[in-house]
């Protein structure tokens, strides 16, 4: 550790190092000591600045009040406002001497302006994705949304904030550090006082937070549909530039297991194609344009989170059923539903008779596997391994979802129930446009 002191360990100048976490304590002691000097020996400057602060309506509201955002707030006391230049001087490496601090007190008012007069702060959320890799450093999906690669410096910064991007208890030869994250940029309102005093701003923030989480899930689901492979969101780290509140918040989303499931890699060309795919089909993932399709997308994505292969098969067959029967209200006999899924998928996914027969037979096999699993019977895979069944189901589901989204956009279909019925009477070319 002492050979690389650039982040966690800081040189003191005499050949020794001090841990970064102790520096804040030293700052606190220095500020407290300097405050006493300011108040006792420089009372004229202190009182003059104090008077100016209380005359400013915007600034005075902060004093002896909670200041922050809906995540966390701090009590702002006048003595800390007065000693702000000291903290700035320490951060900039100015020699720690009372003379320097006292001389800078007159400029404290100007230094505070950039913080106290701001109405909102920048917030960056990073959702780390396990199993994902891309050729580009950053894949920009919109102005406030991208997938980025974390370098060594950024990784170290996360570790110093207590965010572990790989499971330490597992054998590292199976699990690599997580390098990629979905980056979302948003704004935080600055709140003064209790949250109850800022009801409108708080409600607006909570709505934005809901939409941000929806957007995050939508991108991950879109990636799953766009290309095969298993990915999962591990944790979300929120960082903001609000000095009045906690700067780093973390939430765990799913557990990482040491498994050998194939991940996902996007080349530069694939990344460009995914951006076009996302911009064209985004509403299907965010707004549930087609309820039956949204359910199928969720099941496809959730199948990647399942540890047991049996659970994956069940999820994927449910997704198939939602796609090819979910648009119909009510329920029918199981045999009838299974037959509809088998025939509709075969007709919709191919215009070749041999391929249609292959799809029909495979869907019949998949339904039989699902039935065996849920009724506790032995699995009969007819020459397939369970992993091959999962892989082929995912391939058919991804193709079905993509084709349905395109068909819906281009054909403006009012009733998918009627569409499936008419599918039997369409010409081959018409059915597979």
> Where among 57, 86, 116 does a domain terminate?
116
> Where among 57, 88, 116 does a domain terminate?
116
266-296 confidence digits (pLDDT tens): 999 999 999 999 999 999 998 877 889 999 9
Do 202 and 191 touch, CB atoms closer than 8 A? yes
Report the b/e string of 239-265 with b at 16+ CB within 10 A: bbebbbbeeebeeeeeebeeeeeeebe
Residue 3 confidence (pLDDT): 36
199-256 confidence digits (pLDDT tens): 888 888 888 888 999 999 999 999 999 998 888 888 888 888 877 776 666 676 666 6
Q: With respect to residue 246, please indicate whether it lies within any of the assigned structural domains.
A: yes
Residue 305 confidence (pLDDT): 83
> Where among 84, 116, 148 does a domain terminate?
116
Domain co-membership, 125 together with 199: yes
Domain co-membership, 325 together with 408: yes
Q: With respect to residue 279, please indicate whether it lies within any of the assigned structural domains.
A: no
DSSP state of 149: E
Residue 173 confidence (pLDDT): 46
301-360 confidence digits (pLDDT tens): 999 888 889 999 999 999 999 999 887 755 555 558 888 899 999 999 998 889 999 999
What pTM value is reported for the model?
Answer: 0.77
Domain co-membership, 16 together with 95: yes
Counting the structural domains of the chain, the total is 3
Q: Are strands 120-130 and 73-76 parallel, antiparallel or unpaired?
A: unpaired
Q: With respect to residue 355, please indicate whether it lies within any of the assigned structural domains.
A: yes
Domain co-membership, 101 together with 130: no
129-149 confidence digits (pLDDT tens): 988 999 999 999 999 999 999
Domain co-membership, 14 together with 110: yes
Q: Are strands 132-134 and 264-266 parallel, antiparallel or unpaired?
A: parallel
DSSP-derived secondary structure for 79-96: HHHHTHHHHHHHHTT---
Q: With respect to residue 156, please indicate whether it lies within any of the assigned structural domains.
A: yes
3-state DSSP call for residue 176? coil
Residue 257 confidence (pLDDT): 59
Q: With respect to residue 406, please indicate whether it lies within any of the assigned structural domains.
A: yes
Does position 5 have pLDDT exceeding 50, yes or no? no
Does position 33 have pLDDT exceeding 70, yes or no? no
Q: With respect to residue 261, please indicate whether it lies within any of the assigned structural domains.
A: no
Q: Provide the residue range defining the domain that includes 84.
A: 9-116
């Amino acid at each position: 550790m002492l050979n690389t002191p650039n982040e966690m360990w800081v040189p003191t100048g005499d050949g020794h190092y001090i841990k970064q976490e102790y520096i804040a304590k030293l700052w606190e002691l220095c500020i407290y000591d300097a405050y006493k000097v300011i108040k006792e020996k420089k009372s004229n400057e202190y009182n003059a600045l104090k008077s100016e602060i209380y005359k400013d309506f915007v600034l005075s509201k902060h004093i002896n009040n909670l200041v922050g955002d809906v995540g966390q707030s701090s009590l702002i006391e006048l003595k800390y406002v007065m000693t702000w230049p000291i903290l700035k001087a320490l951060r900039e490496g100015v020699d720690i001497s009372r003379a320097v601090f006292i001389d800078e007190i007159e400029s404290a008012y100007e230094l505070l302006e950039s913080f106290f007069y701001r109405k909102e702060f920048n917030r960056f959320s990073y959702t780390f994705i396990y199993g994902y890799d891309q050729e580009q450093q950053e894949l920009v999906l919109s102005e406030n949304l991208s997938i980025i690669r974390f370098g060594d410096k950024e990784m170290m910064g996360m570790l110093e904030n207590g965010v572990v991007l790989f499971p330490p208890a597992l054998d590292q030869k199976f699990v690599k550090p997580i390098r990629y994250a979905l980056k979302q940029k948003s704004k935080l309102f600055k709140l003064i006082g209790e949250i109850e005093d800022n009801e409108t701003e708080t409600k607006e923030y909570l709505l934005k937070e809901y939409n941000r989480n929806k957007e995050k899930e939508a991108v991950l689901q879109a990636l799953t549909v766009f290309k095969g492979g298993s990915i999962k969101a591990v944790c979300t780290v929120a960082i903001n530039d609000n000095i009045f509140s906690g700067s780093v918040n973390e939430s765990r989303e799913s557990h990482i297991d040491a498994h050998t499931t194939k991940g996902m890699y996007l080349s530069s060309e694939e990344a460009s194609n995914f951006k076009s795919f996302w911009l064209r089909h985004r509403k299907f993932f965010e707004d549930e344009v087609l309820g039956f399709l949204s359910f199928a997308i969720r099941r496809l994505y959730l199948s990647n989170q399942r540890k047991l292969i049996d659970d994956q098969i069940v999820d994927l067959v449910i997704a198939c059923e939602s796609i090819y029967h979910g648009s119909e209200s009510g329920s029918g006999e199981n045999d009838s539903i299974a037959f509809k899924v088998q025939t509709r998928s075969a007709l919709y996914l191919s215009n070749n008779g041999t391929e249609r027969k292959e799809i029909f037979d495979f869907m019949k096999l998949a339904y039989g596997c699902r039935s065996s699993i849920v009724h506790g019977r032995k699995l009969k895979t007819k020459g397939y391994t369970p992993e091959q069944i999962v892989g082929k189901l995912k391939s058919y589901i991804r193709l079905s979802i993509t084709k349905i989204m395109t068909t819906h956009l281009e054909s403006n279909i009012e009733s998918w129930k009627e569409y499936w019925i008419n599918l039997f009477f369409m010409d081959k070319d018409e059915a597979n446009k």
